[in-house]
Structure 1
Amino acid sequence: MLELDALTIALLLLAGLAAGWVDAVVGGGGLIQLPALLLVPGISPIQALATNKLASIMGTSTSAITYYRRVGPDLRTAGPTAVAALLGAFGGAVLASRIPAELFKPIILVVLVGVLLWTVLKPSLGARDDLRWVGNGHKRIAAMIGLVIGAYDGLLGPGTGTFLVISLVSVLGYSFLPASALAKIVNFATNLGALLYFVPSGAVLWGLGLGMGAANLVGAYIGARMAVARGSRFVRVVFVLVVGALICRLGWDVLSR
Protein backbone atom coordinates (compact mmCIF):
# COMPACT_ATOMS: atom_id res chain seq x y z
CA MET A 1 0.00 0.00 0.00
CA LEU A 2 1.28 3.47 -0.91
CA GLU A 3 2.17 5.65 2.08
CA LEU A 4 2.72 9.38 1.63
CA ASP A 5 3.79 12.03 4.12
CA ALA A 6 1.78 15.21 4.68
CA LEU A 7 4.14 17.42 2.65
CA THR A 8 3.98 15.13 -0.39
CA ILE A 9 0.19 15.04 -0.21
CA ALA A 10 0.02 18.84 0.06
CA LEU A 11 2.30 19.29 -2.97
CA LEU A 12 0.25 16.81 -5.01
CA LEU A 13 -2.97 18.63 -4.11
CA LEU A 14 -1.36 21.93 -5.12
CA ALA A 15 -0.31 20.36 -8.42
CA GLY A 16 -3.90 19.19 -8.94
CA LEU A 17 -5.25 22.69 -8.25
CA ALA A 18 -2.79 24.34 -10.67
CA ALA A 19 -3.40 21.66 -13.30
CA GLY A 20 -7.15 22.17 -13.10
CA TRP A 21 -6.79 25.93 -13.65
CA VAL A 22 -4.41 25.57 -16.61
CA ASP A 23 -6.46 22.80 -18.17
CA ALA A 24 -9.69 24.80 -17.90
CA VAL A 25 -8.23 27.87 -19.58
CA VAL A 26 -6.36 26.30 -22.46
CA GLY A 27 -5.48 22.67 -21.74
CA GLY A 28 -2.13 21.21 -20.77
CA GLY A 29 -2.83 20.55 -17.10
CA GLY A 30 -1.17 17.17 -17.46
CA LEU A 31 2.09 19.07 -17.89
CA ILE A 32 1.86 19.81 -14.16
CA GLN A 33 -0.08 16.89 -12.72
CA LEU A 34 1.47 13.87 -14.42
CA PRO A 35 5.12 14.79 -13.73
CA ALA A 36 4.16 15.43 -10.09
CA LEU A 37 2.75 11.90 -9.82
CA LEU A 38 5.76 10.39 -11.57
CA LEU A 39 8.05 11.92 -8.93
CA VAL A 40 6.31 10.03 -6.09
CA PRO A 41 8.37 7.02 -4.96
CA GLY A 42 6.60 3.72 -5.45
CA ILE A 43 4.24 4.80 -8.25
CA SER A 44 4.71 3.06 -11.60
CA PRO A 45 4.29 5.05 -14.85
CA ILE A 46 1.02 3.25 -15.63
CA GLN A 47 -0.35 3.99 -12.14
CA ALA A 48 0.65 7.64 -12.52
CA LEU A 49 -1.02 7.88 -15.94
CA ALA A 50 -4.20 6.16 -14.71
CA THR A 51 -4.43 8.22 -11.51
CA ASN A 52 -3.84 11.39 -13.53
CA LYS A 53 -6.84 10.48 -15.70
CA LEU A 54 -9.08 10.07 -12.66
CA ALA A 55 -8.06 13.44 -11.25
CA SER A 56 -8.32 15.11 -14.65
CA ILE A 57 -11.81 13.86 -15.46
CA MET A 58 -13.14 15.52 -12.31
CA GLY A 59 -11.70 18.83 -13.46
CA THR A 60 -12.69 18.54 -17.11
CA SER A 61 -16.28 17.68 -16.17
CA THR A 62 -16.48 20.85 -14.06
CA SER A 63 -14.93 23.13 -16.67
CA ALA A 64 -17.03 21.54 -19.45
CA ILE A 65 -20.25 22.28 -17.55
CA THR A 66 -19.11 25.82 -16.74
CA TYR A 67 -18.22 26.53 -20.38
CA TYR A 68 -21.46 24.98 -21.60
CA ARG A 69 -23.54 27.23 -19.38
CA ARG A 70 -21.63 30.42 -20.17
CA VAL A 71 -20.34 29.99 -23.73
CA GLY A 72 -22.73 27.44 -25.27
CA PRO A 73 -20.28 25.47 -27.47
CA ASP A 74 -21.67 23.89 -30.64
CA LEU A 75 -22.68 20.34 -29.66
CA ARG A 76 -22.90 19.38 -33.35
CA THR A 77 -19.12 19.67 -33.39
CA ALA A 78 -18.53 18.47 -29.83
CA GLY A 79 -20.57 15.26 -30.25
CA PRO A 80 -18.70 13.48 -33.07
CA THR A 81 -15.36 14.83 -31.86
CA ALA A 82 -15.95 13.51 -28.33
CA VAL A 83 -17.12 10.06 -29.49
CA ALA A 84 -14.11 9.64 -31.77
CA ALA A 85 -11.81 10.92 -29.03
CA LEU A 86 -13.20 8.41 -26.52
CA LEU A 87 -12.50 5.53 -28.91
CA GLY A 88 -9.04 6.88 -29.68
CA ALA A 89 -8.21 7.30 -25.99
CA PHE A 90 -9.24 3.73 -25.21
CA GLY A 91 -6.98 2.47 -27.98
CA GLY A 92 -4.14 4.69 -26.79
CA ALA A 93 -4.50 3.43 -23.22
CA VAL A 94 -4.26 -0.16 -24.44
CA LEU A 95 -0.96 0.72 -26.14
CA ALA A 96 0.36 2.75 -23.19
CA SER A 97 2.06 -0.21 -21.52
CA ARG A 98 3.50 -1.52 -24.78
CA ILE A 99 5.10 1.45 -26.53
CA PRO A 100 7.86 3.55 -24.88
CA ALA A 101 6.90 7.20 -24.60
CA GLU A 102 10.43 8.23 -25.62
CA LEU A 103 9.63 7.34 -29.22
CA PHE A 104 6.99 10.04 -29.41
CA LYS A 105 8.57 12.90 -27.49
CA PRO A 106 10.94 14.20 -30.21
CA ILE A 107 8.09 14.25 -32.75
CA ILE A 108 5.74 16.03 -30.35
CA LEU A 109 8.48 18.56 -29.53
CA VAL A 110 8.92 19.51 -33.19
CA VAL A 111 5.15 19.86 -33.64
CA LEU A 112 4.85 22.08 -30.57
CA VAL A 113 7.65 24.39 -31.71
CA GLY A 114 5.82 24.79 -35.01
CA VAL A 115 2.53 25.47 -33.22
CA LEU A 116 4.13 28.12 -30.99
CA LEU A 117 5.83 29.92 -33.87
CA TRP A 118 2.65 29.87 -35.94
CA THR A 119 0.57 31.24 -33.06
CA VAL A 120 3.05 34.02 -32.22
CA LEU A 121 3.63 35.03 -35.83
CA LYS A 122 -0.10 35.15 -36.62
CA PRO A 123 -1.65 37.54 -34.06
CA SER A 124 -5.04 37.27 -35.77
CA LEU A 125 -5.18 33.50 -35.29
CA GLY A 126 -8.10 32.59 -33.05
CA ALA A 127 -9.21 36.19 -32.58
CA ARG A 128 -12.63 35.48 -34.08
CA ASP A 129 -14.63 32.57 -35.51
CA ASP A 130 -13.91 31.88 -39.19
CA LEU A 131 -15.31 28.37 -39.58
CA ARG A 132 -14.12 26.12 -42.39
CA TRP A 133 -16.27 23.40 -43.99
CA VAL A 134 -19.97 22.96 -43.31
CA GLY A 135 -22.33 20.12 -42.52
CA ASN A 136 -20.98 16.59 -42.61
CA GLY A 137 -17.56 17.72 -43.84
CA HIS A 138 -17.12 19.80 -40.69
CA LYS A 139 -18.17 16.85 -38.52
CA ARG A 140 -15.82 14.43 -40.29
CA ILE A 141 -12.80 16.68 -39.82
CA ALA A 142 -13.78 17.27 -36.18
CA ALA A 143 -14.09 13.51 -35.60
CA MET A 144 -10.69 12.90 -37.18
CA ILE A 145 -9.15 15.48 -34.83
CA GLY A 146 -10.82 13.77 -31.88
CA LEU A 147 -9.63 10.30 -32.88
CA VAL A 148 -5.97 11.28 -33.33
CA ILE A 149 -5.69 13.46 -30.24
CA GLY A 150 -7.74 11.00 -28.20
CA ALA A 151 -5.25 8.25 -29.05
CA TYR A 152 -2.41 10.52 -27.94
CA ASP A 153 -4.19 11.28 -24.66
CA GLY A 154 -4.66 7.61 -23.85
CA LEU A 155 -1.05 6.86 -24.72
CA LEU A 156 0.73 9.82 -23.10
CA GLY A 157 -1.55 12.69 -22.09
CA PRO A 158 0.30 15.94 -21.31
CA GLY A 159 -0.73 18.73 -23.65
CA THR A 160 -3.87 17.02 -24.95
CA GLY A 161 -6.11 20.01 -24.26
CA THR A 162 -3.54 22.29 -25.87
CA PHE A 163 -3.46 20.15 -29.02
CA LEU A 164 -7.26 20.14 -29.09
CA VAL A 165 -7.46 23.93 -28.83
CA ILE A 166 -4.90 24.62 -31.56
CA SER A 167 -6.54 22.03 -33.86
CA LEU A 168 -9.98 23.55 -33.38
CA VAL A 169 -8.57 27.04 -33.99
CA SER A 170 -6.23 26.35 -36.90
CA VAL A 171 -8.07 23.53 -38.70
CA LEU A 172 -11.75 24.23 -38.04
CA GLY A 173 -11.48 28.01 -37.62
CA TYR A 174 -12.85 28.61 -34.11
CA SER A 175 -11.68 31.51 -31.98
CA PHE A 176 -9.79 30.62 -28.80
CA LEU A 177 -12.64 30.87 -26.29
CA PRO A 178 -15.18 28.58 -28.01
CA ALA A 179 -12.30 26.27 -29.00
CA SER A 180 -11.34 25.95 -25.35
CA ALA A 181 -14.98 25.28 -24.44
CA LEU A 182 -15.24 22.51 -27.06
CA ALA A 183 -11.88 21.10 -25.99
CA LYS A 184 -13.14 20.56 -22.45
CA ILE A 185 -16.05 18.40 -23.63
CA VAL A 186 -13.73 16.37 -25.85
CA ASN A 187 -11.08 16.13 -23.12
CA PHE A 188 -13.70 14.71 -20.75
CA ALA A 189 -14.36 11.98 -23.35
CA THR A 190 -10.64 11.20 -23.75
CA ASN A 191 -10.21 10.86 -19.99
CA LEU A 192 -13.27 8.59 -19.84
CA GLY A 193 -12.00 6.46 -22.71
CA ALA A 194 -8.65 5.92 -21.00
CA LEU A 195 -10.32 5.12 -17.66
CA LEU A 196 -12.50 2.48 -19.32
CA TYR A 197 -9.26 0.56 -19.76
CA PHE A 198 -7.30 1.66 -16.67
CA VAL A 199 -10.03 1.00 -14.06
CA PRO A 200 -10.61 -2.69 -14.88
CA SER A 201 -6.85 -3.19 -15.13
CA GLY A 202 -6.47 -2.00 -11.50
CA ALA A 203 -3.97 0.75 -12.32
CA VAL A 204 -5.85 3.62 -10.61
CA LEU A 205 -4.77 4.74 -7.12
CA TRP A 206 -8.24 5.75 -5.95
CA GLY A 207 -7.49 7.63 -2.73
CA LEU A 208 -4.78 9.77 -4.29
CA GLY A 209 -6.72 10.24 -7.52
CA LEU A 210 -9.90 11.41 -5.79
CA GLY A 211 -7.97 13.81 -3.55
CA MET A 212 -6.11 15.36 -6.47
CA GLY A 213 -9.35 15.31 -8.45
CA ALA A 214 -11.07 17.45 -5.82
CA ALA A 215 -8.25 19.99 -6.05
CA ASN A 216 -8.35 19.79 -9.86
CA LEU A 217 -12.10 20.42 -9.76
CA VAL A 218 -11.65 23.65 -7.78
CA GLY A 219 -8.91 24.86 -10.12
CA ALA A 220 -11.00 24.01 -13.17
CA TYR A 221 -14.00 25.99 -11.91
CA ILE A 222 -11.87 29.08 -11.24
CA GLY A 223 -10.03 28.77 -14.56
CA ALA A 224 -13.16 28.34 -16.66
CA ARG A 225 -14.83 31.38 -15.10
CA MET A 226 -11.70 33.49 -15.67
CA ALA A 227 -11.46 32.41 -19.32
CA VAL A 228 -15.12 33.21 -19.97
CA ALA A 229 -14.82 36.59 -18.25
CA ARG A 230 -11.64 37.64 -20.08
CA GLY A 231 -12.28 36.18 -23.52
CA SER A 232 -10.22 34.80 -26.40
CA ARG A 233 -7.32 37.23 -25.98
CA PHE A 234 -6.65 36.02 -22.43
CA VAL A 235 -6.92 32.38 -23.55
CA ARG A 236 -4.44 33.05 -26.38
CA VAL A 237 -1.84 34.51 -23.99
CA VAL A 238 -2.17 31.56 -21.61
CA PHE A 239 -1.99 29.21 -24.60
CA VAL A 240 1.38 30.64 -25.69
CA LEU A 241 2.75 30.37 -22.14
CA VAL A 242 1.57 26.77 -21.72
CA VAL A 243 2.94 25.67 -25.09
CA GLY A 244 6.27 27.32 -24.23
CA ALA A 245 6.37 25.46 -20.92
CA LEU A 246 5.47 22.18 -22.60
CA ILE A 247 8.28 22.67 -25.13
CA CYS A 248 10.76 23.28 -22.29
CA ARG A 249 9.57 20.19 -20.44
CA LEU A 250 9.71 17.86 -23.45
CA GLY A 251 12.97 19.41 -24.63
CA TRP A 252 14.55 18.65 -21.28
CA ASP A 253 13.28 15.06 -21.42
CA VAL A 254 14.69 14.56 -24.94
CA LEU A 255 18.09 16.16 -24.25
CA SER A 256 18.63 14.47 -20.88
CA ARG A 257 18.14 10.91 -22.19
Structure 2
Amino acid sequence: MDLDPVALTTLLAVAALAGWVDAVVGGGGLLLLPALLLGAPGMPVATALGTNKLAAIAGTSTAAVTYARRTKLDWAVAGPAAGLAVLCAGLGAVLAGAVPPAAYRPVVLVVLLAVAVFVVARPRLGVVAQPQRRTRVRMVAAVAVAGVGVALYDGLIGPGTGTFLVLAFTALVGADFVHGSAMAKVVNAGTNLGALVVFAAIGHVWWLLGAAMAVCNVAGAMLGARMALRRGSGFVRLVLLVVVLALVVRLGYDQWVG
Protein backbone atom coordinates (compact mmCIF):
# COMPACT_ATOMS: atom_id res chain seq x y z
CA MET A 1 0.00 0.00 0.00
CA ASP A 2 1.20 3.50 -0.85
CA LEU A 3 0.11 6.85 0.58
CA ASP A 4 0.18 10.19 -1.17
CA PRO A 5 1.91 13.08 0.67
CA VAL A 6 -1.38 14.74 1.67
CA ALA A 7 -2.79 11.53 3.18
CA LEU A 8 0.48 10.84 5.02
CA THR A 9 0.66 14.38 6.43
CA THR A 10 -2.96 14.15 7.57
CA LEU A 11 -2.36 10.83 9.31
CA LEU A 12 0.69 12.17 11.12
CA ALA A 13 -1.23 15.27 12.27
CA VAL A 14 -4.14 13.11 13.49
CA ALA A 15 -1.68 10.83 15.30
CA ALA A 16 -0.33 13.83 17.23
CA LEU A 17 -3.85 14.99 18.15
CA ALA A 18 -4.82 11.44 19.17
CA GLY A 19 -1.76 11.29 21.43
CA TRP A 20 -2.88 14.49 23.15
CA VAL A 21 -6.44 13.21 23.66
CA ASP A 22 -5.20 9.83 24.91
CA ALA A 23 -2.82 11.43 27.39
CA VAL A 24 -5.49 13.69 28.88
CA VAL A 25 -8.41 11.30 29.14
CA GLY A 26 -8.24 8.51 26.53
CA GLY A 27 -10.22 8.07 23.33
CA GLY A 28 -7.50 8.81 20.78
CA GLY A 29 -8.56 5.78 18.77
CA LEU A 30 -11.79 7.65 18.02
CA LEU A 31 -9.66 9.91 15.83
CA LEU A 32 -6.89 7.65 14.58
CA LEU A 33 -8.80 4.54 13.49
CA PRO A 34 -11.21 6.37 11.15
CA ALA A 35 -8.28 8.42 9.82
CA LEU A 36 -6.39 5.23 8.98
CA LEU A 37 -9.36 3.64 7.26
CA LEU A 38 -10.14 6.79 5.26
CA GLY A 39 -6.55 7.80 4.54
CA ALA A 40 -5.43 4.38 3.35
CA PRO A 41 -8.27 2.96 1.23
CA GLY A 42 -8.10 -0.79 0.97
CA MET A 43 -6.34 -1.28 4.30
CA PRO A 44 -7.89 -4.26 6.12
CA VAL A 45 -9.59 -3.36 9.39
CA ALA A 46 -7.24 -5.70 11.30
CA THR A 47 -4.22 -3.90 9.82
CA ALA A 48 -5.69 -0.53 10.82
CA LEU A 49 -6.20 -1.85 14.37
CA GLY A 50 -2.66 -3.23 14.55
CA THR A 51 -1.04 -0.10 13.11
CA ASN A 52 -3.07 2.04 15.51
CA LYS A 53 -1.76 -0.06 18.41
CA LEU A 54 1.84 0.51 17.33
CA ALA A 55 1.33 4.28 17.36
CA ALA A 56 -0.77 4.21 20.54
CA ILE A 57 1.64 2.16 22.65
CA ALA A 58 4.36 4.74 22.06
CA GLY A 59 2.08 7.57 23.13
CA THR A 60 0.53 5.87 26.16
CA SER A 61 3.92 4.70 27.42
CA THR A 62 5.32 8.23 27.09
CA ALA A 63 2.30 9.68 28.91
CA ALA A 64 2.62 7.06 31.66
CA VAL A 65 6.28 7.98 32.22
CA THR A 66 5.45 11.70 32.22
CA TYR A 67 2.71 11.21 34.82
CA ALA A 68 4.92 8.91 36.92
CA ARG A 69 7.67 11.52 37.09
CA ARG A 70 5.35 14.32 38.20
CA THR A 71 2.69 12.65 40.34
CA LYS A 72 2.31 9.70 42.69
CA LEU A 73 0.86 6.61 41.01
CA ASP A 74 -1.18 4.01 42.88
CA TRP A 75 0.92 1.03 41.78
CA ALA A 76 -0.97 -1.35 44.06
CA VAL A 77 -3.92 -0.99 41.66
CA ALA A 78 -2.31 0.08 38.38
CA GLY A 79 0.45 -2.57 38.44
CA PRO A 80 -1.70 -5.73 38.69
CA ALA A 81 -4.29 -4.22 36.33
CA ALA A 82 -1.59 -3.56 33.71
CA GLY A 83 -0.27 -7.11 34.01
CA LEU A 84 -3.71 -8.60 33.49
CA ALA A 85 -4.38 -6.12 30.69
CA VAL A 86 -1.53 -7.47 28.55
CA LEU A 87 -3.07 -10.96 28.58
CA CYS A 88 -6.72 -9.95 28.30
CA ALA A 89 -6.20 -7.41 25.52
CA GLY A 90 -4.28 -10.08 23.61
CA LEU A 91 -7.22 -12.44 24.06
CA GLY A 92 -9.59 -9.71 22.87
CA ALA A 93 -7.46 -9.19 19.75
CA VAL A 94 -7.59 -12.94 19.02
CA LEU A 95 -11.39 -12.85 19.28
CA ALA A 96 -11.78 -9.56 17.39
CA GLY A 97 -12.74 -11.12 14.07
CA ALA A 98 -15.37 -13.36 15.63
CA VAL A 99 -17.53 -10.57 17.10
CA PRO A 100 -19.65 -8.60 14.60
CA PRO A 101 -19.78 -4.84 15.28
CA ALA A 102 -23.60 -4.95 15.39
CA ALA A 103 -23.35 -7.10 18.52
CA TYR A 104 -21.36 -4.66 20.62
CA ARG A 105 -22.23 -1.16 19.43
CA PRO A 106 -25.64 -0.90 21.19
CA VAL A 107 -24.14 -2.10 24.47
CA VAL A 108 -21.23 0.34 24.27
CA LEU A 109 -23.60 3.19 23.40
CA VAL A 110 -25.72 2.51 26.47
CA VAL A 111 -22.62 2.33 28.67
CA LEU A 112 -21.26 5.60 27.27
CA LEU A 113 -24.57 7.40 27.76
CA ALA A 114 -24.67 6.11 31.33
CA VAL A 115 -21.11 7.39 31.85
CA ALA A 116 -22.06 10.85 30.54
CA VAL A 117 -25.12 11.04 32.81
CA PHE A 118 -23.08 9.77 35.77
CA VAL A 119 -20.34 12.39 35.32
CA VAL A 120 -22.83 15.25 34.80
CA ALA A 121 -24.98 14.17 37.77
CA ARG A 122 -21.97 13.98 40.07
CA PRO A 123 -20.00 17.17 39.43
CA ARG A 124 -17.60 16.45 42.30
CA LEU A 125 -16.61 13.04 40.93
CA GLY A 126 -12.91 13.03 40.14
CA VAL A 127 -12.43 16.72 40.91
CA VAL A 128 -11.22 15.95 44.44
CA ALA A 129 -9.68 12.63 45.50
CA GLN A 130 -11.77 10.45 47.85
CA PRO A 131 -9.23 8.18 49.57
CA GLN A 132 -11.91 6.68 51.82
CA ARG A 133 -13.13 4.74 48.76
CA ARG A 134 -9.82 2.90 48.47
CA THR A 135 -10.88 -0.23 50.34
CA ARG A 136 -9.49 -3.70 49.60
CA VAL A 137 -12.72 -4.80 47.92
CA ARG A 138 -12.80 -1.72 45.70
CA MET A 139 -9.12 -2.14 44.78
CA VAL A 140 -9.76 -5.72 43.67
CA ALA A 141 -12.83 -4.59 41.73
CA ALA A 142 -10.81 -1.84 40.00
CA VAL A 143 -8.09 -4.32 39.00
CA ALA A 144 -10.71 -6.72 37.61
CA VAL A 145 -12.68 -4.07 35.72
CA ALA A 146 -9.59 -2.38 34.25
CA GLY A 147 -7.32 -5.38 33.74
CA VAL A 148 -9.95 -7.82 32.49
CA GLY A 149 -13.14 -6.09 31.34
CA VAL A 150 -11.74 -2.93 29.76
CA ALA A 151 -8.67 -4.76 28.42
CA LEU A 152 -10.85 -7.30 26.60
CA TYR A 153 -12.83 -4.41 25.13
CA ASP A 154 -9.62 -2.76 23.93
CA GLY A 155 -8.48 -5.90 22.13
CA LEU A 156 -11.92 -6.42 20.59
CA ILE A 157 -12.86 -2.85 19.67
CA GLY A 158 -10.50 -0.17 21.01
CA PRO A 159 -11.79 3.42 20.93
CA GLY A 160 -12.68 4.82 24.34
CA THR A 161 -10.51 2.42 26.35
CA GLY A 162 -8.63 5.17 28.18
CA THR A 163 -11.90 6.92 28.99
CA PHE A 164 -13.36 3.78 30.55
CA LEU A 165 -10.16 3.27 32.56
CA VAL A 166 -10.23 6.81 33.96
CA LEU A 167 -13.86 6.35 35.02
CA ALA A 168 -13.08 2.99 36.62
CA PHE A 169 -10.33 4.43 38.79
CA THR A 170 -12.22 7.56 39.81
CA ALA A 171 -15.51 5.78 40.55
CA LEU A 172 -14.10 2.66 42.22
CA VAL A 173 -11.05 3.78 44.21
CA GLY A 174 -11.76 7.51 44.53
CA ALA A 175 -8.86 8.84 42.45
CA ASP A 176 -9.16 12.38 41.14
CA PHE A 177 -9.20 12.74 37.36
CA VAL A 178 -5.49 13.60 37.08
CA HIS A 179 -4.36 10.56 39.10
CA GLY A 180 -7.03 8.40 37.46
CA SER A 181 -5.70 9.41 34.06
CA ALA A 182 -2.15 8.63 35.19
CA MET A 183 -3.18 5.12 36.28
CA ALA A 184 -5.14 4.69 33.06
CA LYS A 185 -2.03 5.37 30.96
CA VAL A 186 -0.13 2.56 32.71
CA VAL A 187 -2.93 0.07 32.09
CA ASN A 188 -3.56 1.36 28.57
CA ALA A 189 0.09 0.75 27.72
CA GLY A 190 -0.49 -2.86 28.81
CA THR A 191 -3.63 -3.25 26.69
CA ASN A 192 -1.85 -1.79 23.67
CA LEU A 193 1.09 -4.16 24.14
CA GLY A 194 -1.09 -7.25 24.42
CA ALA A 195 -3.12 -6.40 21.32
CA LEU A 196 -0.04 -5.32 19.33
CA VAL A 197 1.71 -8.65 19.93
CA VAL A 198 -1.28 -10.53 18.50
CA PHE A 199 -1.75 -8.25 15.48
CA ALA A 200 2.00 -8.40 14.75
CA ALA A 201 2.02 -12.19 14.99
CA ILE A 202 -0.67 -12.47 12.32
CA GLY A 203 0.95 -9.87 10.08
CA HIS A 204 -1.51 -7.03 10.56
CA VAL A 205 0.83 -4.11 11.35
CA TRP A 206 2.07 -1.56 8.80
CA TRP A 207 5.37 -1.00 10.56
CA LEU A 208 6.77 1.96 8.63
CA LEU A 209 3.57 4.00 8.81
CA GLY A 210 2.98 2.97 12.42
CA ALA A 211 6.49 4.04 13.43
CA ALA A 212 6.06 7.46 11.80
CA MET A 213 2.70 7.94 13.54
CA ALA A 214 4.26 6.77 16.82
CA VAL A 215 6.71 9.68 16.76
CA CYS A 216 3.85 12.16 16.33
CA ASN A 217 1.74 10.34 18.90
CA VAL A 218 4.56 10.66 21.45
CA ALA A 219 4.80 14.41 20.84
CA GLY A 220 1.06 14.82 21.38
CA ALA A 221 1.12 12.58 24.46
CA MET A 222 3.90 14.58 26.13
CA LEU A 223 2.01 17.82 25.56
CA GLY A 224 -1.31 16.33 26.74
CA ALA A 225 0.10 14.81 29.94
CA ARG A 226 1.86 18.03 30.90
CA MET A 227 -1.25 20.08 30.17
CA ALA A 228 -3.44 17.78 32.29
CA LEU A 229 -1.00 17.98 35.19
CA ARG A 230 -0.78 21.76 34.91
CA ARG A 231 -4.47 22.53 34.46
CA GLY A 232 -5.86 19.97 36.91
CA SER A 233 -8.89 17.71 37.32
CA GLY A 234 -11.50 20.24 36.18
CA PHE A 235 -9.85 20.45 32.77
CA VAL A 236 -9.64 16.64 32.50
CA ARG A 237 -13.33 16.34 33.45
CA LEU A 238 -14.32 18.73 30.66
CA VAL A 239 -12.25 16.84 28.06
CA LEU A 240 -13.71 13.57 29.37
CA LEU A 241 -17.27 14.74 28.71
CA VAL A 242 -16.38 15.98 25.22
CA VAL A 243 -14.72 12.66 24.34
CA VAL A 244 -17.61 10.58 25.70
CA LEU A 245 -20.16 12.58 23.71
CA ALA A 246 -18.00 12.31 20.59
CA LEU A 247 -17.81 8.53 21.07
CA VAL A 248 -21.61 8.36 21.40
CA VAL A 249 -22.07 10.32 18.17
CA ARG A 250 -19.51 8.22 16.31
CA LEU A 251 -20.86 4.84 17.42
CA GLY A 252 -24.43 6.01 16.88
CA TYR A 253 -23.56 7.02 13.33
CA ASP A 254 -21.91 3.64 12.69
CA GLN A 255 -24.92 1.81 14.12
CA TRP A 256 -27.77 3.61 12.36
CA VAL A 257 -26.30 5.53 9.42
CA GLY A 258 -22.85 4.26 8.42
Could you say what secondary structure the match of 1:123 adopts? coil
TM-score by length of 1: 0.96
Structure 1 consecutive aligned stretches of length 4 or more whose deviation exceeds 6 Å = none
Could you tell me which runs of 5 or more consecutive residues in structure 1 were left unpaired when the two chains were aligned.
none
- 1:95 partner SS: helix
CA distance in 1, matches of 2:86, 2:102: 24
Q: Where do residues 152-231 of structure 1 align in structure 2 (5 Å cutoff)?
A: 152-231=153-232
| Maintained 8 Å contact 1:20/1:29 | yes
Contact 1:80–1:139 (8 Å) recurs in 2 = no
Please say if 1:58 is aligned against 2:58.
yes
Is the Cα contact below 8 Å between 1:21 and 1:220 reproduced in 2? yes
The aligned runs of 1:1-257 (5 Å cut-off) are 2-39=1-38, 40-131=40-131, 132-135=133-136, 137-145=137-145, 146-257=147-258
Over residues 65-87 of structure 1, what are the superposed CA-to-partner deviations in whole Å (9 max), with x where a residue is unaligned? 00000112111111111111111
Same amino acid, percent of matched pairs: 49
CA distance in 2, matches of 1:238, 1:43: 30
In the alignment, the residues of structure 1 paired with residue 102 and residue 30 of structure 2 have an alpha-carbon distance, to the nearest angstrom, of: 16
> Once the 2 structures are TM-superposed, how far is the Cα of residue 138 of structure 1 from its aligned partner?
4.0
Distance in 2 between residues matched to 1:250 and 1:190, nearest whole Å: 21
Deviation at residue 95 of structure 1 after TM alignment: 0.4
Check the 8 A contact 1:16/1:212 in 2, yes or no.
yes
Tell me the CA shift for residue 99 of structure 1.
1.4
Deviation track 1:73-123 (CA, whole Å, cap 9, x = no partner) reads 111111111111111101100001221122111110111011101111211
User: C-alpha separation between the residues in 2 aligned to 1:5 and 1:73?
Assistant: 42
Contact 2:16 2:218 in 1 (8 A): yes
- Size of the alignment, in residue pairs? 255
Q: Which runs of 5+ in 2 are unaligned?
A: none
Aligned partner letter, 2:227: M
TM score, norm. by length of structure 2: 0.96
Task: Provide the rounded CA distance (Å) in 1 between the counterparts of 2:72 and 2:21.
Answer: 20
In structure 1, distance between residues paired with 2:56 and 2:102: 23
Instruction: Check whether the contact 2:134–2:174 (CA below 8 A) recurs between aligned residues.
Output: no
Deviation at 1:134, TM superposition (A): 2.7
Distance 1:108 1:196 in 2: 25
